[in-house]
Amino acid sequence: MTATGTVGIGSRTGTQTETPDFSVRNLWKVFGHKADRIPTDPAMQSLTGPQILEKTGCVPAVRDMNFDVARGEVFVVMGLSGSGKSTLVRCLTRLIEPTAGQVLLEGQDIMKASGSALRDIRRKKISMVFQHFGLLPHRSVIDNVSYGLQIRGTGKTERYRRAQEVIELVGLHGYDRRFPDQLSGGMQQRVGLARALANDPDVLLFDEPFSALDPLIRRDMQAEVIRLHKDMGKTMIFITHDLSEALKLGDRILIMRHGELVQIGSGDELVGAPVDDYVADFVSEVPRADVLTLKWIARPAVVGETGPTGAVLPAGTVIRDAIPLVLGSADPVGVTDNGSLIGVVGRDEILRIIGESHVVKQSVEMSPNEMQNVEQRVGN
């Protein structure tokens, strides 16, 4: 099932650095009686999650997970409900104690951290934003935001100054004395975001933070996260079940099913080269022209096709953006990668990709339902 096998094989986007910020090695979380036997049991290797459940009564929510997250990267974990993604993100700071494996933060194994060391990591290095906010109803906005600073012993003046800063940052100016139940859902999540930012952590974890918000607010908040990431450049691990959100935010996306890693890659890699039918089904609804770049459809140039006058586009251009130029040009357009010509794109290629999106969509009409049926059986 783990067709990508080794870590980050799909990662050709260049965001990966020599020393990853965050590494997960052979991470397991199994729920159930005598769960700790499952990861080491060779008999379980070949079984799927639902089969293990049937045989042992245990649910492998996270199964032999491996990935690296580079500093400053936005790493998205996505899967349907019950795929184990929320369990995975909780394992990263041991809100749920993993069954086996390693979680390395800058080379330090969080799994081995003592109680106080772990608290220290949670206070300073990693903050989390939750789907249902988790605000303290008896505290005002500013006291909620500064709560993390308070528990690590920051003085009142200092923590209010810092809290005020992040309140401005997330656009809650003037709401600092309100109480959570006086705010809308979107604003409450801004408080949750501000609370996470107030600690000035190295890594931000988001557990489906916008799923409980309505679509317009969700779009605003996504834009907010993109803006914050541009400004602060923090490493982010973002859990979602919404593919468009994943494509919008993620530098790379990890697709999970039954607790297992199915594919890691950038958005265009998932759409352009899905490793199996599952991923293909998943991305089938995506308008390919919006995600794929010219690199994916360029063909070798026939002699004489691009003269000195011919137009040229970089390989990273999204196809949709290239449509006016290509369709408007009599000759195919050249595609360059780092200055060297790697191929050409003509009208045929463009039209085919638009038509293909349509065809794929129809051919997999039934599959998503089947997928979901299987997912529901796994439970979480």
Q: Of 10, 60, 98, 192, which one interacts with another protein (CB under 8 A)?
A: 192
- Radius of gyration for the alpha carbons in the chain, expressed in angstroms and rounded: 23
Binding-residue total with another protein (CB under 8 A): 33
Q: Can you tell me the distance from the alpha carbon of 260 to that of 47, in angstroms, rounded to the nearest whole number?
A: 12
| Interface region with another protein, contact rule CB under 8 A, candidates 41-49, 103-111, 113-121, 224-232 | 113-121
Q: Binding to another protein (CB under 8 A): which residues in 163-182?
A: 179
Among 136, 223, 312, 351, binds another protein (CB under 8 A): 136
Classify 101 in phi/psi space as left (phi over 0), alpha (psi -120 to 50) or beta.
left
CA distance 217 to 185: 9
- Please report how close the Cβ of residue 276 comes to another protein at its closest, in angstroms: 34
150 lines the binding site for another protein (CB under 8 A): yes
Q: Is 380 in the site for another protein (CB under 8 A)?
A: no
Residue whose C-alpha is closest to residue 32's, from 53, 61, 58 = 58
Of residues 336-375, those binding another protein (CB under 8 A): none
Taking CB under 8 A as the criterion, the residue among 32, 72, 102, 123 binding another protein is: 123
CA distance 128 to 89: 9
Among 151, 273, 302, 359, binds another protein (CB under 8 A): 151
Task: Please select the residue that binds another protein; options are 3, 9, 43, 95, rule is CB under 8 A.
Answer: 95
Q: Is 282 in the site for another protein (CB under 8 A)?
A: no
Minimum CB distance to another protein smaller for 133 or for 282: 133
Cα–Cα distances (Å) from 314 to 27, 97, 292, 336, 340, in that order, read: 39, 46, 13, 5, 9
Write phi, then psi, for 29 (nearest 5 degrees).
Answer: -135, 115
Candidates 4, 66, 87, 127; binder of another protein (CB under 8 A) is 127
Minimum separation from the CB atom of position 206 to another protein (A)? 12
Least separation in angstroms between CB 194 and another protein: 13
Q: Evaluate whether 30 touches 61 at the Cβ level (below 8 Å).
A: yes
> Does residue 33 touch another protein according to CB under 8 A?
no
Residue 6 CA, distance from chain mean position: 19
Closer to another protein by Cβ: residue 121 or 326? 121
Is residue 311 within 8 Å of 325, Cβ to Cβ? Answer: yes
Taking CB under 8 A as the criterion, the residue among 119, 173, 227, 352 binding another protein is 119
Which residue in the set 22, 67, 75, 130 belongs to the binding site for another protein (CB under 8 A)?
A: 130
Nearest approach in angstroms of CB 182 to another protein is 9
* Interaction between residue 98 and another protein (CB under 8 A): no
Token digits for 105? 């933060």
Question: In the bound complex, what is the minimum distance in angstroms from residue 120's beta carbon to another protein?
Answer: 7
Applying CB under 8 A, the span of 73-81, 146-154, 265-273, 310-318 interacting with another protein comes to 146-154
Contacts 24+ apart (CB under 8 A), 273-279: 273/10, 275/3, 275/4, 276/3, 277/367, 278/371, 279/255
> How near is the Cβ of 125 to another protein at its closest, in Å?
9
Query: DSSP per residue over 225-287, as a string?
Result: HHHHHHHH--EEEEEES-HHHHHHH-SEEEEEETTEEEEEE-HHHHHHS-SSHHHHHHHTTS-
Residue type, 45: Q
Tokens standing for 161?
Answer: 């100054």
Kindly identify the residues of this chain, within the stretch 283-322, that bind another protein according to CB under 8 A: none
What token pair was written down for 367? 């599959």
Both structure tokens of 47: 């079984």
For position 212 contacting another protein by CB under 8 A, the verdict is no
- 195 belongs to the binding site for another protein (CB under 8 A): yes
Chain residues binding another protein by CB under 8 A are 90, 93, 95, 118-124, 126-128, 130-139, 147-148, 150-152, 179, 192, 195, 199, 205
